[in-house]
Amino acid sequence: MHTDLKLAATHLKRGQLQRLPNAQGSLVLCLSGTLWLTQQGDARDIVLEAGDEARVEHAGLSILSALRDTSFVLSPDPARHRAAPAAA
């Protein structure tokens, strides 16, 4: 499992939603509870239990839905945060 202690956990109560616009490449880490991840352009739905992780593979809107009270961490795509090459 990927862990990064610098990332703050998000808490959702059962039935709450978290919209993830343009989160392609980000990693969802389920810390507790049960999450349902659905992604625009993907017919699959992914259910995450405590300790599971899934990468947001598609551009557009993704939605996390708490099937039970849940805590999760969203780790951004590291490629988006790499420094641009220095100009010559």
- Domain edges within the chain: 10-76
Q: Which residue from 55, 57, 29, 32 is spatially nearest to 43, judged by alpha carbons?
A: 57
The pTM assigned to this predicted structure is 0.78
User: What's the CATH superfamily of 10-76?
Assistant: Jelly Rolls (2.60.120.10)
pLDDT digits (tens, 9 = 90+) for 26-73: 999 999 999 999 999 888 899 999 999 999 999 999 999 999 999 999
Instruction: Concatenate the DSSP letters of all residues of 12-72 into one string.
Output: E-TT-EEEEET-TT-EEEEEESEEEEEETT---EEEEETT-EEE--SSSEEEEEESSSEEE
pLDDT digits (tens, 9 = 90+) for 60-85: 999 999 999 999 999 986 665 444 44
Radius of gyration of the chain (CA): 14
